[in-house]
Structure 1
Amino acid sequence: MPNFYCEYCGTKTSSISSLTASSCSRHPLGSGKGKHKLYEGSEKTKYSCKYCGTSTSSISSLTASSCSRHPDGSGKGKHAPAL
């Protein structure tokens, strides 16, 4: 059975509908101000930030930190997983 992940926080569910129905604590607009967003890449052993290349073993740990090369400016956004 496939797993589906949120691009913003790494939450894992077994269906897209259950993932996108819930609020995301790491949504770019703020906690509780938007829903989870489906990560459209495949499951991997390492996830890399599409802005700076930082690599971690999970989407959750990747998106927990600020990215120095985020398009909004250094420290103004989180790492985002590359597909």
Structure 2
Amino acid sequence: MQKYYCENCGSKSNTISSLTEKSCYRHPMGSGKGKHILYQGSEKAQYFCKYCGAISSSIFSLTGFLCPKHPDGNCRGRHLPFF
């Protein structure tokens, strides 16, 4: 069965609708201020940050840290997985 992931926090669900109807605690506007956003890439062994190239084995662990090359400024946003 395919899993769907949030690109901001790595939460997973069996359906897109059940994922995107819930609030995301790592949303860019703040915890609980927006819904989960669907990660549109495929499941991978490693995920890379779109901005700095950091590598992690899961979206959850990648997005858990601030990015030094985030467009909003040094460490002013979290890593974002590249599709």
**TM-score of the pair, normalised by structure 1:** 0.99
Tell me the equivalent position of 1:60.
60
Identity of aligned residues (%): 60
Tell me the equivalent position of 1:16.
16
The count of aligned residue pairs is: 83
1:78 equivalenced with 2:73 (yes/no): no
Write the distance in 2 (CA, Å) between the matches of 1:2 and 1:59. 16
Tell me the equivalent position of 2:6.
6
- Can you list the C-alpha shifts for 1:14-51, whole angstroms capped at 9, x where unaligned? 00000000000000000010000000000000000010
Give structure 1 regions of 4+ aligned residues with deviation exceeding 6 angstroms.
none
- Can you list the C-alpha shifts for 1:35-80, whole angstroms capped at 9, x where unaligned? 0000000000000001000000000000000000000000100000
The residue identity in structure 2 corresponding to 1:33 is K
How much is the aligned-residue C-alpha RMSD, in angstroms?
0.3
Write the distance in 2 (CA, Å) between the matches of 1:30 and 1:71. 17
Can you give the 5+ residue segments of structure 2 that lack an aligned partner in the other structure? none
The residue identity in structure 1 corresponding to 2:23 is S
1:36 equivalenced with 2:22 (yes/no): no
Write the distance in 1 (CA, Å) between the matches of 2:33 and 2:76. 17
Can you give the 5+ residue segments of structure 1 that lack an aligned partner in the other structure? none
The residue identity in structure 1 corresponding to 2:82 is A
The residue identity in structure 2 corresponding to 1:39 is Y
**TM-score of the pair, normalised by structure 2:** 0.99
